[in-house]
Amino acid sequence: MLMIAAACLSAGYARAEDGYDLWLRYRTSVSSSGAPRVSPRIDTRSSSRMMVAAADELRRALAGLSTAQVAMLGPIVVATAGDPDVRALDLPLALLGDEGYLVRTVTLARARVTLVTANTERGALYGSFALLRHLYTGGDPRRIALSSAPRVHLRILDHWDNLDGSVERGYAGQSLWDWWTLPDYRDPRYTDYARANASIGINGVVLNNVNASADTLTARYIAKAAALADIFRPYGIKVYLSARFSAPIELGGLASADPLDPRVAAWWRAKADEIYRAIPDFGGFLVKANSEGQPGPRDYHRSHADGANMLAAAVRPHGGVIMWRAFVYADTDPDDRAKQAWTEFKPLDGQFADNVIVQVKNGAIDFQPREPFHPLFGAMPRTALMPEFQITKEYLGQATHLAYLGPLFAETLRADTMAHGSGSTVARIIDGSIEHHRLTGIAGVANVGRDRDWSGSTFNQANWYAFGRLAWDPALDPRAIAREWAAMTFAPAIAKRVATMMMPSREAVVDYMTPLGLAHLMATGHHYGPEPWVSGLKRPEWNPVYYHRADRNGIGFDRTASGSNAVAQYAPALARQLSNPATTPPSELLWFHHLRWDHPMPSGRTLWTELVQRYDAGVAQVGDMRRQWNGLRPQVDAERWEKTATFLDIQAREAAWWRDASIAYWSSINGLPLPAGTRPPAHDVRWYEAQRFPHAPGNPQ
Amino acid sequence: MLMIAAACLSAGYARAEDGYDLWLRYRTSVSSSGAPRVSPRIDTRSSSRMMVAAADELRRALAGLSTAQVAMLGPIVVATAGDPDVRALDLPLALLGDEGYLVRTVTLARARVTLVTANTERGALYGSFALLRHLYTGGDPRRIALSSAPRVHLRILDHWDNLDGSVERGYAGQSLWDWWTLPDYRDPRYTDYARANASIGINGVVLNNVNASADTLTARYIAKAAALADIFRPYGIKVYLSARFSAPIELGGLASADPLDPRVAAWWRAKADEIYRAIPDFGGFLVKANSEGQPGPRDYHRSHADGANMLAAAVRPHGGVIMWRAFVYADTDPDDRAKQAWTEFKPLDGQFADNVIVQVKNGAIDFQPREPFHPLFGAMPRTALMPEFQITKEYLGQATHLAYLGPLFAETLRADTMAHGSGSTVARIIDGSIEHHRLTGIAGVANVGRDRDWSGSTFNQANWYAFGRLAWDPALDPRAIAREWAAMTFAPAIAKRVATMMMPSREAVVDYMTPLGLAHLMATGHHYGPEPWVSGLKRPEWNPVYYHRADRNGIGFDRTASGSNAVAQYAPALARQLSNPATTPPSELLWFHHLRWDHPMPSGRTLWTELVQRYDAGVAQVGDMRRQWNGLRPQVDAERWEKTATFLDIQAREAAWWRDASIAYWSSINGLPLPAGTRPPAHDVRWYEAQRFPHAPGNPQ
């Protein structure tokens, strides 16, 4: 033991806690467990790659527990429902489906053991991670009774990773995939990525950007994807690819990509066959078509359903699915951008093949700090819909701002569409329980890159974690998820305090960037920092002024009947509520209404005064987070504490910048004095307008 | 002790040997040192940041030694020449200058101690690293007598890093510099980078690409550079910036960047003053001017000396230098590209200010696997010249090929220019000993990025190491350097075998890519793979056919009097040798001569037969390396062994590809049968011509 200790210490200098281990850190405190190593008995009753992975994970994790804890746990048996011992116990496995698990302290052959069981090995893998989560969040090792099954089938990370290693809207370094050395070199990091995903139930990964290169579909890149699929397979993760709709032209030499052209359909069938030969469990294609310049079926006057169904036919023989994005807005349509996806897709309800799922952003614009839920949810009952969230914080401060997105994800999932009466929440639409869809899914745009800490900051890891947990069960409480994450990432002893700090963080971003339902006021292109004044871009809906519509008299986008009437895209009961400022939630007020600056708010203040107070509240909340983080310093390792503290400093500065620039700009428009007691902006609006950030990260090439 | 051991073990799974520790691994074997930890006495007699850094390094390192070794070493005293104890010892410090060191076992106050001393703290820092190198390469801790001073003053890494995080010709991930979070966040990695550089004597870092953005010189980026300078300072490393010559127009709003325009000079003076206020020990500017589209003084019909001297005046009051690149070739000059730098710069000899040093690539074309030394060395006796090597392997297989560049660097440094009689080697030109320059330097284009192992592979680290060691002392033996590196990177026990594998590796690359003096046959743009057939690019010197000039009758570039007469740029005695194929080294034969395919070689074989045999020799050498590496498997940790083995597989495949494509192409040109017993290429030349690599890394944006 002494010998090993010395080796460890000599390497200790360079091996500070750097975030690489994520929530699979497997220590019960920040410094160390203080416990000698023990070798628990783990019996997986199968030598499949998946069960070897489960056993390996259990061994890693149990090495961090105390002898006493391991003893209380007893031997661990991982076995599927077909195992005679499991059958003899007559456990309630029927409702677990093919991914659920049951973990329970039982007596087997007169010995008390911890049993991890499920109908499938995949379920048993998830059960193993559930057991570890239980143990590392302070759960009792003696009386374990865990059981859960996912409510959504496809739980997917979308990587916006390009073949040159850049990541669109990536703030955590280059793409994880080193395309250049694949398929030969299998970086151990790929396995750690799969472990992290499996631990939170993610079962699918789209490897490449929706703004896709056709090269992804060449033999060379299929072989690379196949290598990743092989690494991910024991962790229950399928690989998907974003497909460029015009690939038959670019790769196949065809004159057209018309989905109704039999040669085009044949090309895609042959391509699907080729992919499935290399990747037998290939998940399918994700497609961004006729959106922001991407090719698609509309180029041939065909519908999105025509395009999706043609691809669906190609992957159907292999069990594949098509995830077809509804993120469309035409460069010729002068109508409210927020309405266009509904306008184009709702008429197609019922026309999509049953292995197509339409992927709908959580809101109708584009991943803003807050958006009302997308009106397509509930509006296409005969179509499988999956929400698309953005885990990477394109519009929420990018890498450096601490913004816990659990509340944002949950807000959409819990929103009541009223489409099938009260209680028809987005969650119940997309989990299939109301509309009886067999195919269900949730997608999140990944925030993962090659940075050592994967996500650019420790707290960004929490958004990856929360996405996975909510995809598994949309009913989970974001605060409980935050505590779980914090217990595993730091230590159970400080989990509650860390979660308390995290919970208001997203609302703080809303307040200092886009309070009261404002949206899309970020700088052009890279979306870093405020540019509410931008008005000169070619397409109207690229300009922030399109969204806020502020003038001398008022501010906000009238989406009632007197305006764009976007409210009519919601269920009638909800549309009525949203048509009236008095019954519209203040948090969405200016999304739906154009109001006078002196509009009286429920608080009794004018809109202008309330708006300024929201900015101040956002800035103050960041100050609060800094104070809380300072208080946690003794309980957190130096490297992660320091980086987070520095990022909070940046956030505090930038929150003040957002507040000041916004107030300066609104003042210059409305000519009103600042509400009494308001600190004036540090500079005038010209100063803010002059700021330029030519090398901001994450911008598409 | 038990407690710490357990913590270490529990984290052990994720902490495999991953190359991050470089040659500062501080273990005497691959597995572990097997020794209990001891606390050596270290007395630095100063609490300056530099001496704290030295002490910290000694503590890290000594923790990896056995108790017995540490005891034999005795207390370590780090003290400069002014220390009374050191003065009393009357040591030979005079010749050490301000960077040399002396490390010696001495008796101080009747105790045997290991003394690290120097005239300056910087020297003492280098001495500390020299002591650690001694100990970790198997040196005796009891009788230490080390002493060395660098022969070259500026030992510089040039980063071709862009402000958006990309790295031109980078094959090791994104830029180390996270410009976006600087100056706030000081990644601990920056310190580890400085440690690595200091350990091999590198004392300057150019932070940004020579194809420079003017934004580098804005206040925002100066503050970022200042943060890095502050981190590097205790390690004796100065920061430099690449300057865009047209910055006075782009940033200053001037109408011109004419170096003789007083407003331009004033702008640069003010800019230099601004930089020095933020970075008092700023090193100076590196400039790529009028080269490959970059702006420069020639745009105003001024000379390179005019441009350099104007900048030199701006930094002179602060002690700064200008490194001015001689890498120029005009898009209007039909003369041999290899001649153009000499033609343009030689007439300027004596015109450069004394704080200007002209940076000359090791060869006259562009960092090829082999080039004759650049004819400017020895041709500008009244000008300080510094060679520029490329550590990143743009033309030598990029990240994946194992090519130890120590022999390449040494080949240039040892080349005899004959400019001042026999023995006037490039090393003696550039170290100032022949031409008596005060200002001396060596630059290497860095191969460092954000990949976990810094350089894209373990063996690429050796090139960073060898560059630093040869910059310190150009007379060092590349094989000795390889053994040193291997002892510290792996273990002393296998150092000799590793070095034996490394030594022929660069020659193997020459053989399978560009044997017998061929050059620049790589693919267009990204330079990955063979494209000797390319002939259609706009500028003649961009085309491989420009360099090999192969036709039915012969191959090679006639640079004798009957051709471009580039040989006349060398000293007459050397020019005479190179004018005759019989006295030209076979390794440079086709660089200087166009010869018939049946030209008789010294071996008695025809040129064609010899050429094919060189390709085969290169491929065979890679096979040898694979066998040697397989033999080392038991002695190397799994992760580094596996990655290297995979990369050797890639290299073997690509070496065969180079050989086959080249032979197929030459055959198609000369119509000759393959020499008897030659394995025919796997495909015909059309197949090789059809290969495309659209996402190859490192290509400029």
CA distance A191 to B442: 42
Q: Is A250 in the active site?
A: no
For residue A30, the model assigns a pLDDT of 53
A181 shares contact with chain B (CB less than 8 Å): yes
Left, alpha or beta for A369 (phi > 0: left; psi -120 to 50: alpha)? Answer: alpha
DSSP B227: H
The answer to whether the Cβ–Cβ distance between B33 and A7 falls below 8 Å is yes
- Predicted pLDDT at A15: 57
Check CB contact under 8 Å for B60 and A695: no
The values of phi and psi at residue B360, to 5°, are: -115, 125
- Among A366, A371, A541, A654, the one annotated catalytic: A366
Cis peptide bond upstream of B334, omega within 30: no
Q: What tokens does B54 get?
A: 């030295």
Q: What's the distance, CA B140 to chain centroid?
A: 31
Whose tokens are 């059309």? That residue is: B686
Tokens of B661: 């494509």
Q: Do A192 and B647 touch (CB under 8 A)?
A: no
Asked if A695 and B215 come within 8 Å (Cβ–Cβ), the reply is: yes
A695: chain B residues, CB-CB within 8 Å: 163-164, 179-180, 213, 215
**CB pairs below 8 Å between A and B: how many?**
185
Least CB–CB distance from A400: residue in B27, B181, B701? B181
Residues in A 603-642 with any Cβ partner in B closer than 8 A: 639
Residue in chain B closest to A451 (alpha carbons) equals: B450
The reply to whether domains A5-148 and A510-557+594-689 share a CATH topology is no
Mean pLDDT (chain B, rounded): 95
User: Is the distance from CB of B419 to CB of B379 less than 8 angstroms?
Assistant: yes
The CATH number corresponding to B5-148 among 3.10.20.30, 3.30.360.10, 3.30.70.890, 3.30.379.10 equals 3.30.379.10
Query: Can you list the alpha helix ranges (DSSP code H) found in B434-535?
Result: 458-472, 478-489, 492-502, 505-513
Distance from CA of B3 to the nearest CA of A (A): 5
Distance to chain B for A292, nearest Cα, Å: 23
Place of tokens 């080390």: B146
CATH superfamily of A154-479: Glycosidases (3.20.20.80)
Nearest CA in chain B to A29: B7
Please list the residues that pair with A554 across neighbouring strands. A596
**A63, A162, A696 member nearest B9 (Cβ):** A63
Nearest one of B225, B310, B321 to B274, comparing CA atoms: B225
- What is the pLDDT, as a whole number, of residue A39? 74
Mutate to test the interface with A, among B8, B164, B218, B457 (most CBs of A within 10 A): B8
Mean pLDDT of B340-362: 98
Whether residue B650 and residue A3 make contact (CB cut-off 8 A), yes or no, is no
Distance CA B171, CA A126 (A): 37
Q: What is the pLDDT of residue A33?
A: 45
Contact list in B for residue A2 (CB cut-off 8 A) is: 1, 5, 36
Contact flag B37-A10 (C-beta cutoff 8 Å): yes
Q: Do A3 and B643 touch (CB under 8 A)?
A: no
Dist CA A476 CA B297 (whole Å): 66
- B97-to-B101, B114, B123, B197, B629 alpha-carbon distances in Å: 9, 21, 8, 20, 42
Nearest to B384 by CA among B311, B423, B326, B344: B326
Q: Which two tokens stand for residue A508?
A: 């703080």
Q: Would you call A165 an interface residue with chain B, using a CB distance cutoff of 8 Å?
A: yes
- The residues of B annotated with a catalytic role in the active site are 292, 366, 394
Q: At what angle do helices A638-670 and A458-472 cross, to 10 degrees?
A: 80
User: Given CB atoms, is A63 within the 8 Å cutoff of chain B?
Assistant: yes
| Active-site annotation holder among A17, A99, A344, A394 | A394
* pLDDT for residue A380: 98
pLDDT of residue A35: 47
- For chain A, residues with pLDDT lower than 50 are 1-14, 32-35
Q: Is A184 on the interface with B (CB under 8 A)?
A: yes
Residues B443 and B358: their CA atoms lie apart, in Å, by: 11
8 A C-beta contact, residue A325 and residue A441: no
Q: Which residues of A touch B5 (CB under 8 A)?
A: 1-2, 4-5, 8, 36-37
Residue type, A391: I
A145 burial (CB, 10 Å; 0-12 / 13-18 / 19+) is exposed
* B189 membership: H or E segment, kind and range: helix B188-199
Give the start-to-end residue ranges of the domains of chain B: 5-148, 154-479, 510-557+594-689
Select from B8, B188, B647 the Cβ nearest to the Cβ of A8. Answer: B8
Helix (H) or strand (E) holding A424: none
B-chain CB neighbours of A3 within 8 Å are 32, 34-36
- A15 in reach of chain B (CB within 8 A): yes
Asked whether the beta carbons of residue A450 and residue B174 sit closer than 8 angstroms, the reply is yes
For the entire predicted model, the pTM comes to 0.96
**pLDDT tens-digit map of B602-637:** 999 999 999 999 999 999 999 999 999 999 999 999
Please tell me the distance from the alpha carbon of residue A161 to that of residue A174, in angstroms, as a whole number.
Answer: 8
Give A15's contacts in chain B (Cβ within 8 Å).
11, 15
A690 at interface of B, judged by CB pairs closer than 8 A: no
Is A68 an 8 Å CB contact of chain B?
A: no
* B247 and B214 Cβ atoms separated by less than 8 Å: yes
Treating both helix axes as pointing N-terminal to C-terminal, what angle do B478-489 and B406-414 enclose, rounded to 10 degrees? 150
CB atoms within 10 A of CB B14: 18
**CATH fold of the domain at B510-557+594-689:** Alpha-d-glucuronidase, C-terminal Domain (3.90.1330)
User: Does the distance separating the beta carbons of B7 and A32 come in below 8 Å?
Assistant: yes
CA distance B37 to chain A (A): 5
Q: Among partner residues B3, B13, B450, which is closest to A60 by beta-carbon distance?
A: B13
**Two tokens, residue A653:** 């500065």
Residue A444, phi then psi, degrees to nearest 5: -135, 135
**Interface ipTM above 0.90:** yes
Q: Which of A10, A36, A451 sits opposite B27 (nearest CB)?
A: A10
CB atoms within 10 A of CB A539: 12
Residue B12: is its pLDDT beyond 50? Answer: no
For chain A, say whether B92 makes contact (Cβ under 8 Å): no
Inspect the interface and report whether the beta carbons of B6 and A34 lie closer than 8 Å. yes
Assess whether pLDDT exceeds 60 at residue B32. Answer: no
Nearest residue in B to A699, CA atom: B164
Question: How far is CA B21 from its chain centroid?
Answer: 20
Strand partners, A323: A286, A357
**Could A650 and B60 be called an inter-chain contact, meaning their C-beta atoms sit closer than 8 Å?**
no
Judged by CB atoms closer than 8 Å, whether chains meet at B64 and A13 is answered as: no
Strand partners, A375: none
d(CA B293, CA B328): 10
Which backbone phi and psi does B478 adopt, to 5 degrees? -55, -35
Q: Do B4 and A9 touch (CB under 8 A)?
A: yes
The DSSP element (H or E) to which B7 belongs, if any, is helix B2-10
Whether A650 sits inside 8 A of B181 (CB atoms) is: yes
Q: Which of residues 441-480 of B touch A (CB under 8 A)?
A: 450-452
Nearest CB to A37: which of B6, B15, B399?
Answer: B6
Cross-chain Cβ contact B646/A185 below 8 Å: yes
pLDDT in tens, B170-184: 999 999 999 999 999
Q: Which of A98, A140, A164, A292 is catalytic?
A: A292
Q: Tens of pLDDT along B443-471?
A: 999 999 999 999 999 999 999 999 999 99
Please report residues of A whose CB lies closer than 8 A to that of B32.
3-4, 6-7, 10
Contact state of B5 with A10 under an 8 Å Cβ cutoff: no
Contact (Cβ atoms closer than 8 angstroms) between residue A200 and residue A148: no
Indicate if A541 belongs to the active site. Answer: no
